[in-house]
Amino acid sequence: MENNMQDRIKVLGIVLKAEPIGEYDRRVVILTREKGKISAFARGARKPTSAFLAPTSPFTFGTFELYAGRNSYSVCDISADCYFEELRQDFEGAYYGMYFLELADYCTRENNDEREVLKLLYQSLRALTVKSIPRRLVRCIYEIRLIVANGEFPGLPQGNFSETALYAVEFIAGTPVEKLYTFTLKEEVLAELVQIAEKYRRDFLPGEFHTLEILETL
C-alpha cells in the first residue's frame, strides 16, 4: 500500500552522515531548513542500481521528500542540487568537509530552527572549493560563526592580538553568512586567527571529533 500523500513532507537540506542498516538500507541524518536535524531511512539505498545510492551520501544538498511515520521518517524521493563532487574527489578537501559536517551534527537538534547553521554549512562547503581562499581560513570562519549561531560567542578574545585579527573576528561574528567568505588575511594574521578559533572551539565546542584528529595530521 502506498504511503498517504498527506503524511509526506518536503525538506531542503544537507546529508550530514549515512550508515548502513541491514543488508541494503541506509539511515541518513539530514540537516534541514524546515525541521532542524532529522534522521530518515532509505530502503534499498545501498543496492548498486538504487536511485538513492548517490543522493543519500554525505555532502548531498537538495530537496528530500519524506514519509512521516509514527516513529521515524522514510525517504520517498530526492532531488539533489549539489553533491560537492570537488570535495569528494579531493582528499584534504573531503576531510575538511567531513569535519564541517561532524561539527554541524554535534551542534544541531531535531525540531530546532537550524536555518542559520544550514546556510553557514552550505556556504562553507562552497568556500572549500574556492582555490583562492585558504582552507585554514575557511575552517576558522566556520568554527567561530558556528559558535555565534549557537548563541555562545563570548566576544572578542583577550590577549596580545593585532587589530587586524580582532577586526576579522568581529567581521566573522557580525557579517551576513552570504558575505563571510569575501576576504583573505596575511599569513601572520591568519596564524593569530587560527589560535583564536582553536581556543573558542576548545571552550565552546568541546566534543571529540574523529575527523579533526585526522585533519590535523594532514
pLDDT tens digits for range 58-100: 999 999 999 998 888 999 999 999 999 999 999 999 999 999 9
CB 16 within 8 A of CB 31: yes
Distance CA 140, CA 27 (A): 30
Torsional sign, CA 117, 177, 134, 15 = positive
Distance CA 112, CA 133 (A): 31
Distance CA 211, CA 58 (A): 14
Instruction: For 159-172, write each residue's pLDDT tens digit.
Output: 999 999 999 999 99
Residue 49 above 90 pLDDT? yes
Task: Look up residue 158 and give its three cell numbers.
Answer: 583577550
Strand 61-68, strand 73-82: pairing: antiparallel
Residue 101 above 60 pLDDT? yes
Instruction: For 123-145, write each residue's pLDDT tens digit.
Output: 999 999 999 999 999 999 999 99
The band of 4, judged by pLDDT with boundaries at 50, 70 and 90, is low
* Average pLDDT score over residue span 25-37: 97
CB 200 within 8 A of CB 173: no
pLDDT value of position 6: 63
On the CB side of 15, CA atoms within 13 Å amount to 30
Task: Look up residue 179 and give its three cell numbers.
Answer: 558575505
Distances (CA, A) of 183 to 28, 93, 133, 167: 34, 19, 8, 12
Task: Look up residue 132 and give its three cell numbers.
Answer: 583562492
CB 17 within 8 A of CB 29: yes
Distance of CA 186 to the CA centre of its chain: 26
Residue 1 above 80 pLDDT? no
CB 66 within 8 A of CB 34: no
Nearest one of 136, 147, 54, 154 to 104, comparing CA atoms: 147
For 108-162, where are the alpha helices, taking DSSP H only? 115-128, 135-149
Residue 3 above 60 pLDDT? no
Distance CA 5, CA 158 (A): 55
